[in-house]
Each structure stands twice: as C-alpha cells, then as structure tokens.
C-alpha cells in the first residue's frame, strides 16, 4: 500500500484476486441474499400503446403517400372501379391474384399462383393485387401475413407493381395495436412504400428489393 493512500475497505482475501466479473457476482449475490423471501413488488407498465389520432384513415393515407405511394380512399361501392382505373393507368393487364381475394377486386384476366409461379414468371407479369392483414396509420405501413387474398411473400416482392386493397377496419393507429392483431408465427411482410434504398451520397434508387410502384386503395 502506498504511504498516505486510503485503506482498501474490502476483506484482505478479496484484494488483488478478483476481476470485474467476480465483483459483479459478489454484488449480485449480496443483493439476492438481502431480498430473499421478500414479496414480489407490482410493476406498473403504463406505456402509451396508441398515438393520439382521431382520423386514422386520413393519417394512414397521408403517411403512405409520404413514401411516394399512390393512395386512393374510396367507398366500398367505388372499390372495383378504382382498381380497374388504377390498372388502366399503369397499363397492367396480367396481375397475379392470390387465393382468397374478393372476386369483385380481381381483374378480368387474373393470373393464378397455382401451380406456383417461378421467379421468372412473376417477373414477367404486370403486377400483383393483394389484400393485407393490417395497416398502421402512424407509420403508413401495410403488413401482409400470407393469409387469404395475400399469397406468399414472393408475390409482393418480385413483380414491379403492387396494388394493395386495405379495408378501413384493418387500419390501426400505431404499431403496438398492429402487433396485438398479428400472429408472430406467421410470415409477416411489412411494407412502407415502394422498395427503395439510398447509397452513401443519399441517391435514392427504387425497385431494388421489391416493387417500384405501390398503389393502395383504402376502402371505407
């Protein structure tokens, strides 16, 4: 010990023999010993689970459009006409239609994924039309879970045009509400706008990992 230095309060057996990990274990052991037999204290978890949004449909449409997607908000009676008008503007005739998509949303010449289309065949179609599992207003995100009308993940990743129909009752305000609705055991695809990435100089490139064009029809 250096002359004048304060004395080390630890027992002599602990001085110079332990590591940081050993010290941590000693501290934790003392804490466990001190609280042994104490009752569990209730923990209040009053986290905010929903953003304060009074118009979730309007917020969802606004946030989806922020990602450069095309958005339409229509009544149910207008959905079929809106879908066909969107296809005409895109010049899309041959769209892949997953099993379970409502017949009134399907194009006149649907392309079925049965037997499964190859990647080359998916690349050759004009696009895909699907429903979704959940829409998230706060982030403008669409989530697909491969359920009816959505198909397998490749259907929405390979074609260059994705037309997605979202029912108003599928839109929730925030991510926690969306997670509560989703089954984590299912294959979930979270889509926020067209596929895009940026290089180190922030030059945006679209269509690298998925469709370059995302069009969303929200049906009230």
Q: How far apart are CA 128 and CA 146, in angstroms?
A: 14
Indicate whether 26 belongs to any domain. Answer: no
The helix or strand, by DSSP H or E, that contains position 178, with its residue range, turns out to be: helix 175-181
pLDDT, residue 3, reads: 52
User: Is residue 115 reached through a cis peptide bond, with omega within 30 degrees of 0 on the bond before it?
Assistant: yes
Q: Does residue 25 lie in a domain region? A: no
Tokens coding 150: 């959505």
In a domain, 64, yes or no: yes
Q: Cα separation of 60 and 170, whole Å?
A: 11
Contact (CB, 8 A) for 129 and 106: yes
- Residue 184 has what pLDDT? 95
Is residue 32 assigned to a domain?
no
State the Cα–Cα distance between residues 177 and 191, nearest whole angstrom.
17
Domain that holds residue 89: 56-219
Q: How far apart are CA 142 and CA 134, in angstroms?
A: 6
What is the predicted pLDDT for the residue at 201? 76
pTM beyond 0.75: yes
Domain membership of residue 100 (yes or no) is yes
pLDDT in tens, 100-148: 999 999 999 899 999 999 999 999 999 999 999 999 999 999 999 999 9
- Tokens representing 9 are 């309060």
Cα separation values, 1 from 5, 7, 12, 16, Å: 7, 8, 12, 12
Count of domains for the chain: 1
DSSP classification of residue 162? E
In whole angstroms, what is the distance from residue 158 CA to residue 36 CA?
A: 58
Q: Give a yes or no: residue 168 inside a domain.
A: yes
Query: For each successive 10 residues of the chain (220 residues), what is the average pLDDT?
Result: 54 58 91 91 81 89 95 97 97 96 94 96 97 97 97 96 98 95 96 84 80 96
Q: Is 185 exposed, middle or buried (0-12, 13-18, 19+ CB in 10 A)?
A: exposed
Within-domain flag for 136: yes
> Which three-class secondary structure state does DSSP give residue 29?
helix
Is residue 13 in some structural domain? no
Q: Which long-range contacts (CB under 8 A, 24 or more apart) does 43-47 make?
A: 47/176
CATH number for the domain spanning 89: value is: 3.40.50.10420
Would you state the structure tokens that stand for residue 24, as one six-digit string? 């941590």
């Amino acid at each position: 010990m250096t002359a004048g230095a304060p004395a080390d309060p630890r027992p002599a057996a602990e001085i110079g023999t332990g590591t940081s990990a050993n010290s941590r274990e000693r501290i934790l052991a003392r804490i466990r010993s001190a609280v042994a037999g104490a009752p569990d204290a209730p923990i209040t978890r009053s986290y905010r689970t929903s953003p304060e949004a009074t118009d979730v449909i309007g917020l969802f449409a606004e946030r989806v459009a922020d990602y450069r997607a095309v958005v339409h908000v229509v009544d149910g009676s207008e959905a079929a006409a809106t879908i066909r008008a969107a296809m005409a503007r895109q010049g899309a005739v041959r769209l892949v239609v997953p099993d379970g998509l409502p017949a009134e949303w399907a194009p006149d010449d649907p392309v079925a994924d049965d037997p499964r289309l190859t990647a080359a065949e998916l690349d050759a179609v004009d696009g895909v039309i699907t429903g979704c599992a959940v829409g998230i207003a706060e982030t403008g995100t669409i989530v697909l879970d491969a359920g009816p009308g959505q198909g397998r993940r490749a259907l929405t990743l390979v074609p260059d045009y994705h037309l997605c129909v979202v029912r108003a009752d599928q839109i929730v305000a925030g991510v926690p509400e969306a997670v509560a609705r989703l089954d984590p055991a299912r294959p979930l695809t979270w889509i926020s706008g067209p596929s895009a990435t940026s290089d180190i100089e922030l030059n945006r490139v679209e269509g690298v990992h998925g469709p370059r064009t995302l069009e969303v029809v929200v049906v009230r």
